[in-house]
Structure 1
Amino acid sequence: MASVINDQKLKGMQPEGAPLTESLPGRGMGAILFKRPGEAPPSAYFRYRRDGKSYLVKIGSCKTGARGAGLTLPQIRERAWELAKVAYEHGDVKAHLAFLEKQAEAERHASELALAEQVRLRAIEAARGSLAELFNDYIDSRRGTVRESQVAELERVLRVELEEANPDVAEMKARDVRPGHIRQILLPIWDRGSKGMADKVRAYLHAAYQYGLTAEHSLSRTSRKSFALELNPVALLPKEHKATAQTRVLTDAELKHFWQTITQTDEVGPVMARLLKFVIATGGQRIDQVSREPWTSYDSEKRTLRLIDAKGRGGVRRVHLIPLSSRAIELLEEVEPLTGRHEFIWTTTGKKPIATTSPSHAVRDWLDSKHGKIDGEQIPPFTPRDLRRTCAQLMQRYGVENQVSDLLQSHGQTGVVGQHYRNNPEAYLPEKTKAMMGFETALSKVLGEAVEKTGKS
């Protein structure tokens, strides 16, 4: 019979004994059935009727002692009421509970998938390359296609202008960098008066982003960093600096004074001084090409020096042979005791060629020295590039044909002629020798020497 069950009655239930029943308030709301099938504590069930049949839904084991496990009577009654409401609203309690469990399982699965997706996206984001890594990837892509001096300059920009001057921007994900961040990098360079350098750094950053946009999925790319770039933030910054054509040419008096005093300048080392004179003596060769050549490029028997000309976009490398005058050979003989035991002709460390920026510093040091004046007047600034221009105009003034002077200075050859020249570097040696002889005659006159150095060129 149905009655109110208490803890004492539950404790008094015998194994395999008759079950106890407690009806829930309200007609047709069902009842709580207590059964003890064995030695274990009694179990509670919710009993309800549907379509003339009785159904049991287990609530749980009963707690019969202070330290025992299971549900207390109040907890059992609360759960029974919840199930009674389900029976009243949905009829089939078991089916509804099964539906709820399936729904909960689906929600758990969806939650696990969402969490896994979050972890995946976080991992992808963590793997995204930074601006510094993008720039370094770009540098690696240029190795072997541009001059080593250009690679060294890119590495300097990465180290100095990005990692040291702007570490916060350098460490940002490359795809998160915006035009304002690029401006943050360029503005200090511009403000210190280096407008040309600011424009160069802008061009380098622009090229790095273009590389990242097009080459990320290239099979030949060695880096496995992902950047997922969608735009080039540098493209939105205008090119501010307007380059002006350089026209500085040394006067005959300036050239003579420079030649006679550069080796006497305490601020300029003996190797550097002779490098600057050698550039003049060879008709104004590009100083960066001359400075990186090893001793093996000098052929003392043929009196030639081999340069590798990779100037211009695309970096097409070609051999440029220079016929050497007696003046140029004397300079090599002077520097040989200083660097002859090393790989490179023009080195101060013995391990690598003179840095590409060093000649410009040396010229500035000479200008700042006591030799930087003629008759008390300061000589206007010039650079090693201006020595090349000075030599070109000297040849023109003394009647050396433009075509052969261009050959001597390795101005670009195109078309069939250029192809023949690249395949046979010695083809133009006779014409270059003719230009060198004319230049040596002109240089001797400017230096106030008797024309005796032309000899065999």
Structure 2
Amino acid sequence: MDTITEVALAEAKAEVHGSNAKRELTEKLDGLPGVLMARVSDRKIDFFYKYQWEKKRELLLLGTYAARKQKERVTLPEAFELVLQEAVIRKEGKNPKEERRIKELKIEAGLKRRIKQAEIQGYGTFGRMLQIYLNTLTDTDTRKDIERMFKREIEKPFPQLLILPARDIEWEQIKPILNDILERGKGPSANKLLDYIKAAFNKVINIQLDSGVSLYADDEFGLIANPLQHIKSNKTFNSAGKDKWTRKELADIWFNAIEYCGPVAGRFIRFTIANAGQRIKQLVRVSWTDYHLESKIPYTEVTNMKKKRGGDEVSHLVPLNDLALKELLDLQQITGHCDFPFPSRKGAGFLTDKPMGHEVYTKHMKRICEGLDIRLLSLGETRTTIKTMLGPYKIPKT
């Protein structure tokens, strides 16, 4: 019979290193039946509760050893705590292995019952919570983007999550979704999805104060706290999409945009560059009526800009330089009959009352970069690029 210590475990590990041999260390428990057993192999150390039941030796796994606290691992002090709990159950005349199985079955049955209820009612589910969040978004393009992301990153690869009650969702269930995105090299998308899920939880949390004392959670979701509130975005990707273009890349994109992307999408790329990287999603939704091309100083009035929190929406006046003006004048011959200079397409024609979606120019940027055999660039990066180029001339970003 051994005394199990950190030193004893290290020595046993050294003895079996590089072989298929195993060593077993055991230590008695004062006044309680059974022993703590450590099974040491070259790869790992497992702790067991070793005891007798109906004249047979039984082994109950307590966990795999780690020298320091680690997820899904147990330290030596934790192993002693766990084995004493199981030994008390054995002393009471119960089989610890059977008691654990009964406990696991109860947990599983409760989860199955909640899943079944969610399948029948859709009431309080994670999927319904995401849909409620989507329904609160007023910007159509933003809603479609987030809806596509939910479908692509959650609904298709992890459909079982959608039917779970929202109150049962924890970080451990969201983490694999984000890891899957990170493995595909899409760190910024992982950050965005985390922010969207956080916002969805916040949207359905409805705490009412009664006399400043009692808290009541929303009846449907039963949430009083956001399970992701302490999870932070990965700062590594916070500046994604902010890489500057080189002057050569800027010139290559400008002179080849129409050839690779066509007369409308190509001119939108050139128009964005000419406008020093004005916010793209807002600019693409400006109608022809808001372009004042005959003015002494031609300009466009952007009325769909982001407003400050708690403030009013304010129009943003963008002067048009000669490069930007030329692109618009050329476009008038092509899309002048549409509501927007940069309309959506339908087959070989245009949807006259709908602006181009952002997925279109993202696709065209990928096409032109592949065609020119240059690194993949985002049209959003023009804002950082032009700002840097204007810096030496003391011209601030607007």
**Bin of the TM-score, shorter chain as denominator length:** 0.5 to 0.7
Structure 1: which amino acid aligns with 2:291? Y
How far apart, CA to CA, are the structure 2 residues paired with 1:175 and 1:390?
44
How far apart, CA to CA, are the structure 2 residues paired with 1:161 and 1:245?
22
What TM-score, normalized by structure 2, do the two folds share? 0.59
Number of the residue aligned with 2:236: 242
- Structure having greater relative contact order (Cα 8 Å, sep ≥ 6): 1
How far apart, CA to CA, are the structure 2 residues paired with 1:381 and 1:128?
43
Q: Does residue 254 of structure 1 match 2:249?
A: yes
Q: Does residue 324 of structure 1 match 2:320?
A: yes
Aligned mate of 2:149, from 149, 157, 168: 157
Aligned-residue sequence identity (percent) comes to 25
How far apart, CA to CA, are the structure 1 residues paired with 2:311 and 2:358?
18
Report the Cα offset of residue 185 of structure 1: 2.8
How far apart, CA to CA, are the structure 1 residues paired with 2:307 and 2:146?
16
Where 1:214 maps in the other structure, the secondary structure is: coil
**Structure (1 or 2) with the larger CA radius of gyration:** 1
Confirm or deny: 8 A CA contact 2:307 2:314 kept in the other structure. Answer: no
1:72-123 deviation line (CA, Å, top 9, x unaligned): xxxxxxxxxxxxxxxxxxxxxxxxxxxxxxxxxxxxxxxxxxxxxxxxxx89
Q: Does residue 299 of structure 1 match 2:292?
A: yes
Q: Does residue 285 of structure 1 match 2:273?
A: no
Summarize the Cα distance change of 1:264–1:384 in structure 2 as closer, same or farther, 3 Å threshold: same
User: Is the strand fraction higher in 1 or 2?
Assistant: 2
Q: Does residue 181 of structure 1 match 2:173?
A: yes
Q: Name which of structure 1's ranges 182-191 and 198-207 shifts more when overlaid on structure 2.
A: 182-191
Confirm or deny: 8 A CA contact 2:288 2:340 kept in the other structure. Answer: yes
Number of the residue aligned with 2:382: 387
Within 5 Å, give how 1:30-429 maps onto structure 2: 126=121, 128-143=123-138, 147-214=139-206, 226-235=220-229, 237=231, 239-245=233-239, 248-265=243-260, 268-302=261-295, 303-307=298-302, 308-310=304-306, 317-349=313-345, 350=351, 351-369=353-371, 372=372, 378-397=373-392, 399=393, 401-402=394-395, 405-406=396-397, 409=398
Report the Cα offset of residue 316 of structure 1: 5.5
Q: Which runs of 4+ in 1 moved over 4 A?
A: 311-316
Q: Name which of structure 1's ranges 342-351 and 289-298 shifts more when overlaid on structure 2.
A: 342-351
Where 1:360 maps in the other structure, the secondary structure is: helix
Structure 2: which amino acid aligns with 1:357? E
Where 2:355 maps in the other structure, the secondary structure is: coil
Instruction: Flag structure 2 segments of 5+ consecutive residues without an equivalent.
Output: 1-116, 210-217, 346-350
Instruction: Flag structure 1 segments of 5+ consecutive residues without an equivalent.
Output: 1-121, 218-223, 373-377, 410-457
Confirm or deny: 8 A CA contact 1:249 1:387 kept in the other structure. Answer: yes
Report the Cα offset of residue 331 of structure 1: 1.0
Confirm or deny: 8 A CA contact 1:285 1:388 kept in the other structure. Answer: yes
1:378-436 deviation line (CA, Å, top 9, x unaligned): 54443212222222233233x2x33xx33xx3xxxxxxxxxxxxxxxxxxxxxxxxxxx
Report the Cα offset of residue 238 of structure 1: 5.0
